[in-house]
Amino acid sequence: MAEKQQSSYPKAPATNGYTRSDAEAAHDARDQRKKKRTKCLLYIVLFAIFQAAVIAIFAVTIMKVRTPRFRVRSATFENFNVGTPAAPAFSARMNAELGVKNANFGRYKYRNTTVVFMYRGTPVGQAVLKNSRVNWRATKKIDVAVDLSLGNAAANSQLGSDLSAGIVPITSQARMTGRVELVFIMKKNKATEMNCNMEIVTATRQLRNIVCK
Ligand SMILES: *[C@@H]1O[C@H](CO)[C@@H](O)[C@H](O)[C@H]1NC(C)=O
């Protein structure tokens, strides 16, 4: 029992044969190298998976191209003119604040854009926006002055009743075209439509109920 213990115990000092201990050491080293290689391979695989996940997240968040939102935000009026019940008419200068909301992780460059204002399907005024850009994840506010003149719409029999009700419904429409620049290099064409309904309250000369699709 004591002998057995003695023979198996002293390994490193190796009084009982260097050769066997050398072979064992070499085997151990090979084993260790193999383990290291396996570990290294595992790390590479894990890193590849991690990288794929990062790229996937990148693709669905940062690299995703979102449609900018283009709308009428608010407006005030001046030179307000409502006709008489006998001769219904309406004209005003509308100082409108438009907004282009860019939710992309890259700026949006848009081209010249015309916004048409309509009264029950008849164009009654327009605003022209010069080409510009919206910073990434920002809203650009654009002030425009629009001369609304419902002279074209005078033939519309509803104008009299709208004016006596004190509410003039207006819609605004536009198609804005431009490009989203993602990460400064990837450029993608993106157009956005404005399609808003709103009401001018003649008594208070205010714009209310702006609803944009
Ligand atoms: C955009 O409008 C400006 C004037 O507001 C004009 O000088 C320019 O040529 C227009 N650009 C295009 C591409 O039509």
pLDDT score of 153:
62
Does position 4 have pLDDT exceeding 50, yes or no?
no
Over 70: is that where the pLDDT of 113 sits? yes
**What is the average per-residue pLDDT within 177-192?**
91
Given a cut of 80, is residue 171 above it in pLDDT?
yes
Ligand 1 atom nearest 131 alpha carbon: 1
Q: Which amino acid, 192?
A: T
Task: Say yes or no to pLDDT of 72 above 90.
Answer: yes
**Ligand 1 centroid distance, CA of 186 (Å):** 25
**Closest C-alpha residue for ligand 1 atom 1:** 112
Which protein residue's CA is at the shortest distance from atom 2 of ligand 1?
A: 130
State in Å, rounded, how far the first CA of the chain is from the last one: 92
Question: Distance between CA 71 and CA 192 in Å, rounded?
Answer: 10
Binding site membership of 112 for ligand 1 (Cβ less than 6 Å): yes
Ligand 1 pocket test, pick from 112, 114, 144, 176 with the greatest ligand atom count within 8 Å of Cβ, gives: 112
For residue 100, pLDDT beyond 70 = yes
How far apart CA 62 and CA 183 sit, in angstroms, is: 8
* Position in ligand 1 atom list of the atom nearest CA 128: 5
Query: What is the CA(112)–ligand 1 centre distance, in A?
Result: 6
Task: Bin 7: left if φ > 0, else alpha if -120 < ψ < 50, else beta.
Answer: alpha
Specify the residue with its C-alpha closest to ligand 1, atom 9: 112
- Indicate if ligand 1 lies below 6 Å from the C-beta of 114: no
For 26-35, 117-126, 153-162, which range has the lowest pLDDT when averaged over its residues?
153-162
Closest CA to 158 of 148, 147, 169: 169
Task: Between 152 and 69, name the one with better pLDDT.
Answer: 69
Report CA(115)–ligand 1 centroid distance (Å): 15
Asked if residue 33 lies in contact with residue 41, where contact means CB atoms within 8 angstroms, the answer is: no
Confidence of residue 160 (pLDDT cuts 50, 70, 90): confident
Q: How far apart are CA 100 and CA 150, in angstroms?
A: 27
Whether residue 70 contacts residue 176, with contact meaning beta carbons closer than 8 Å, is answered with yes
Average pLDDT rounded to a whole number, residues 146-161:
81
Per-residue pLDDT at 5 exceeds 60: no
Strand partners, 113: 129
Is the CB of residue 131 below 6 angstroms from any atom belonging to ligand 1? yes
Q: What integer best gives the mean pLDDT of the chain?
A: 88
Per-residue pLDDT band for 3 (boundaries 50, 70, 90) equals: very low
Question: Average pLDDT of 156-177?
Answer: 92
CB atoms under 10 Å from CB of 113, counted, come to: 23
CB of 6 within 6 A of ligand 1: the answer is no
pTM above 0.85, yes or no: no
**CA atoms of 185 and 194, how far apart (whole Å):** 27
pLDDT in tens, 36-67: 999 999 999 999 999 999 888 888 888 889 99
**In this structure, what are the phi and psi dihedrals at residue 152, rounded to the nearest 5 degrees?**
-60, -30
